[in-house]
A = this chain, B = another copy of it.
């Protein structure tokens, strides 16, 4: 059945106390939303509730009233705190019956590992008879698809890997068939070096010229600023084309501060550039403790442009492995332009890469002095031929300082290469 719709909207309900108490960060919702947007489905609400029967029933009512699609994650495990399935059974007026395919899979899962199959796991193969079972190849809890009053409700495990499998294999294709979705298109520009309000001033006319179906949003991101244009339209091709025209205008207005016109993490932006140029990079990290290397290697295929790093957290490693001179350390201190230059040169020799990024700083919360307060960081980026050095004064907590240093450092190398 295909539904004609102007705008197809979805709610995401996450069930689980671990999210509410802050023990776990919700990454599932972000991933689901990106997939849904790509299909033209707008996520307009997200609700996190506990493993509480009344809260689940109320949320199903509420979200079903305002959305075409309700995606529910969590509470499908084999332990006593997992109540989602019986509550869904109650809500949709069904009774639990065994799904043979799931039952066989559960049995096989445990037998193949030489483990006994417990009743609580066998019970994971029970599903409400009013549901369509969505087969979970990555775990023992099946997904469940319900239809009521022309709305779609889908229940999935909260384990990210399992949820993604069910979404990709079953949910997204079925939603594609069920709804005739309009298009949602995003384009994001990443900028550096100008504050949000000043960029907004520069874009005043541009923003006023945007038609009602195109929106501009401002998003600070680790020392940089993202500007996102979003367009809604009937079909993807023409909507994307219309958006491109406005995006191009915005790019021209902000050409001097643009980092990239793709919504990619800095490690990926740098990687694509190095791959395009056929060059290699390494890092010599002190205060960032390997975080820059991690960002670079998050990108599949990075072995083509990234060779390795020396994390010289202690000064003896700066000397021992990177050849930083004792006199330089003593005269200037570890957090200095002189030391970060020697780290870069030493690392170029050891790693034999075309380019290097070196950082040395104080990420906090302790370790600051009056001359070098917490947040002081020196960055060196470049090659044997040309090395750029920059000093930043950061003002955040330890992890934020590390993240911002990494972003600034990778951006310095990007600017030099381009």
Name A's B-contacting residues (CB within 8 A). Answer: 17-27, 29-34, 37, 43-52, 55, 77-81, 115, 118, 120-121, 138, 159-161, 164, 186, 188, 195-198, 200-201, 207, 215-221, 226, 228, 230, 263, 283, 285, 288-294, 296-298, 300-303, 306-314, 316-317, 320-321, 350-352, 364-366, 395-400, 402
Name the one of B19, B37, B313 contacting A22, with C-beta atoms under 8 angstroms.
B37
Q: Bound complex: CA of A67 vs CA of B235, how far in Å?
A: 42
10 cross-chain pairs, A with B, having the tightest CB-CB distances, nearest first: A290-B290, A289-B297, A290-B293, A22-B33, A22-B30, A308-B317, A46-B48, A309-B311, A22-B34, A307-B314
* A358: min CB distance to chain B, Å: 14
Q: Bound complex: CA of A48 vs CA of B63, how far in Å?
A: 13
Q: Bound complex: CA of A307 vs CA of B312, how far in Å?
A: 7
Name the one of B32, B120, B291 contacting A197, with C-beta atoms under 8 angstroms.
B120
B50 pairs with A47, CB closer than 8 A: no
Q: Which of A29, A164, A317 has the most CB of B within 10 A?
A: A317
On chain B, the residues within 8 Å of A19 by CB distance are: 29-30, 46
Q: Bound complex: CA of A44 vs CA of B201, how far in Å?
A: 40
B313 pairs with A308, CB closer than 8 A: yes
A197 pairs with B300, CB closer than 8 A: no
A30 pairs with B25, CB closer than 8 A: yes
Q: Bound complex: CA of A147 vs CA of B159, how far in Å?
A: 39
Find the B residue at minimum CB distance from A220.
B159
Q: Bound complex: CA of A22 vs CA of B164, how far in Å?
A: 14
Q: Bound complex: CA of A373 vs CA of B149, how far in Å?
A: 46
Name the one of B161, B195, B217, B311 contacting A308, with C-beta atoms under 8 angstroms.
B311
B313 pairs with A306, CB closer than 8 A: yes
A219 pairs with B29, CB closer than 8 A: no
A45 pairs with B47, CB closer than 8 A: yes
A366 pairs with B301, CB closer than 8 A: yes
B313 pairs with A310, CB closer than 8 A: no
A197 pairs with B79, CB closer than 8 A: yes
A31-B23 in contact given A161-B397, A218-B81 (Cβ < 8 Å):
no
A317 pairs with B313, CB closer than 8 A: no
On chain B, the residues within 8 Å of A311 by CB distance are: 283, 290, 293, 297, 308-311
Q: Bound complex: CA of A400 vs CA of B365, how far in Å?
A: 29
Name the one of B43, B52, B118 contacting A201, with C-beta atoms under 8 angstroms.
B118
A297-B290 in contact given A23-B219, A46-B20, A115-B198 (Cβ < 8 Å):
yes
A317 pairs with B321, CB closer than 8 A: no
A49-B55 in contact given A32-B22, A79-B218, A311-B290 (Cβ < 8 Å):
no
B298 pairs with A398, CB closer than 8 A: yes
Find the B residue at minimum CB distance from A301.
B366
Q: Bound complex: CA of A55 vs CA of B218, how far in Å?
A: 20
Q: Bound complex: CA of A44 vs CA of B59, how far in Å?
A: 13
Q: A118-B197, A159-B220, A285-B290 are known contacts; what are 12 more A-B pairs with Cβ within 8 Å?
A: A23-B219, A24-B30, A25-B27, A45-B48, A46-B48, A81-B216, A120-B200, A138-B395, A288-B294, A289-B297, A302-B313, A303-B314
Q: Bound complex: CA of A219 vs CA of B24, how far in Å?
A: 9
Name the one of B20, B164, B296, B317 contacting A307, with C-beta atoms under 8 angstroms.
B317
Q: Bound complex: CA of A244 vs CA of B298, how far in Å?
A: 41
* A19: min CB distance to chain B, Å: 7
